[in-house]
């Protein structure tokens, strides 16, 4: 599921002004500061002025990894349930529907577990997922990088033996160490910088791997399907992301979240957006789109303009946070990114 909780729990930072004063034209708006989301939710915390930074980092490194894997190493893995080679774009559409359906079902399962076992279940669920992904993808991409290094060396029995020793024994060991360390750091949450690094690391590995294994039309179908699901999951009262956010933000403040939202909608108050949290799902799908743009167009310019469109779309989304407690982080950025990718790719192909 797309974990795009840009906003965090809300608390009142200013005492409620007199109702008459609030109704007077020109009266100052009440400001509700957003507390950070619970530490066990996988989000990247940053000041709003620096919001492009994690996006830039994740798309650059994910794009580099996917390019080295797909183009330089020649790894071709069809990760779709239906073959695009046989059915073309229709096969990609079917794959998109299947993967989106899996995401939808998984999201409701998570909400069910939260209601039955409490919010702490998220800490262990996400920690396990981070450990699992970091182990296998660190091993996978580590082997790709080592392979690209060793093919530059003159072949010999010693070189071949050393290659197999590193990839079959030493590399899995180091991948396991990385996995255990990241899982431990995520569970303990001693530093926001550590958490931000973990979110970036997992996002770029996952986005790069999806870019490599998913065919073009499958990738685009997944991105469109997940973006549409993101809208429903955030805006619908019983949507999984909204439910998760509401449960996590329950507090004993004087005003409930509903009352605060009513004040914001009426124009009597605004949310403080000086600091935001970008969900891991957003970063993963941003990097999937840019990786797809690079490896299928094989043109760096297409990737650059696609990344720029994503950053611009995220900025548009963030502009709405003063009036909204949470917003879906994918739709504007992904739709704008896909359109930019296809147009720039076409223009470059006919020049």
- What average pLDDT does the structure give for the chain? 85
Checking if the pLDDT of 33 tops 80, the result is no
Q: Where are the domains of the chain?
A: 10-350
Mean pLDDT of 183-209: 91
3-state secondary structure the chain: CCCCCCCCCEEECCCCCCHHHHHCCCCCCEEEEECCCCCCCCEEEEEHHHCHHHHHHHHHHHHHHHHHHHHHCCCCCCCCCCCHHHHCHHHHHHHHHHHHHHHHHHHHHHHHHHHHHCCHHHHHHHHHHHHHHHHHHHHHHHHHHHHHHHCCCCCCHHHHHHHHHHHHHHHHHHHHHHHHHHHHHHHHCCCHHHHHHHHHHHHHHHHHHHHHHCCHHHHHHHHHHHHHHHHHHHHCCCCHHHHHHHHHCCCCCCCCHHHHHHHHHCCCEEECCCEEEEEHHHHHHHHHHHHHHHHHHCCHHHHHHHHHHHHHHHHHHHHHHHCCCCCCCCHHHHHHHHHHHHHHHHHHHHC
Question: What are the pLDDT digits (tens) for 134-182?
Answer: 999 999 999 999 999 999 999 889 999 999 999 999 999 999 999 999 9
| Residue 210 banded pLDDT, cuts 50, 70, 90 | very high
Checking if the pLDDT of 271 tops 80, the result is no
Checking if the pLDDT of 114 tops 60, the result is yes
Checking if the pLDDT of 20 tops 60, the result is no
Specify the higher pLDDT residue, 277 or 27. 277
Prediction pTM value: 0.86
| Residue 122 banded pLDDT, cuts 50, 70, 90 | confident
Checking if the pLDDT of 324 tops 50, the result is yes
């Amino acid at each position: 599921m797309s974990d795009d909780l840009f906003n965090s729990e809300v608390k009142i930072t200013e005492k409620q002004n007199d109702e008459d004063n609030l109704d007077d034209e020109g009266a100052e708006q009440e400001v509700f500061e957003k507390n950070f989301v619970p530490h066990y939710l996988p989000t990247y915390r940053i000041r709003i002025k620096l919001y492009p930074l994690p996006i830039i980092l994740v798309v650059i490194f994910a794009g580099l990894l996917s390019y080295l894997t797909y183009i330089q190493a020649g790894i071709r893995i069809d990760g779709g349930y239906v073959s695009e080679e046989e059915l073309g774009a229709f096969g990609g559409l079917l794959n998109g529907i299947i993967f989106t359906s899996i995401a939808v079902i998984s999201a409701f399962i998570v909400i069910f577990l939260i209601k039955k076992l409490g919010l702490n279940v998220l800490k262990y669920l996400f920690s396990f997922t981070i450990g699992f992904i970091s182990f296998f993808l660190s091993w996978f991409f580590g082997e790709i990088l080592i392979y690209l290094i060793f093919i530059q060396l003159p072949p010999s029995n010693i070189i071949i033996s050393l290659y197999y020793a590193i990839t079959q024994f030493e590399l899995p060991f180091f991948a396991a160490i990385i996995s255990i360390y990241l899982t431990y750091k995520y569970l303990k949450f001693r530093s926001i910088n550590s958490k931000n690094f973990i979110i970036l690391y997992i996002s770029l590995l996952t986005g790069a791997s999806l870019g490599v294994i998913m065919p073009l039309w499958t990738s685009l179908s997944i991105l469109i399907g997940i973006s549409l699901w993101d809208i429903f999951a955030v805006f619908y009262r019983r949507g999984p992301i909204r439910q998760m956010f509401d449960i996590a933000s329950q507090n004993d403040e004087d005003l409930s979240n509903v009352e605060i939202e009513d004040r914001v909608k009426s124009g009597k108050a605004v949310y403080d957006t000086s600091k935001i949290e970008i969900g891991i799902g957003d970063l993963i799908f941003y990097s999937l789109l840019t990786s797809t743009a690079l490896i299928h167009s094989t043109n760096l310019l297409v990737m650059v303009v696609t990344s720029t469109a994503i950053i611009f779309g995220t900025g548009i989304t963030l502009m709405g946070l003063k009036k909204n407690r949470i917003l879906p982080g994918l739709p504007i950025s992904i739709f704008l990114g896909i359109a930019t990718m296809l147009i720039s790719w076409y223009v470059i192909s006919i020049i």
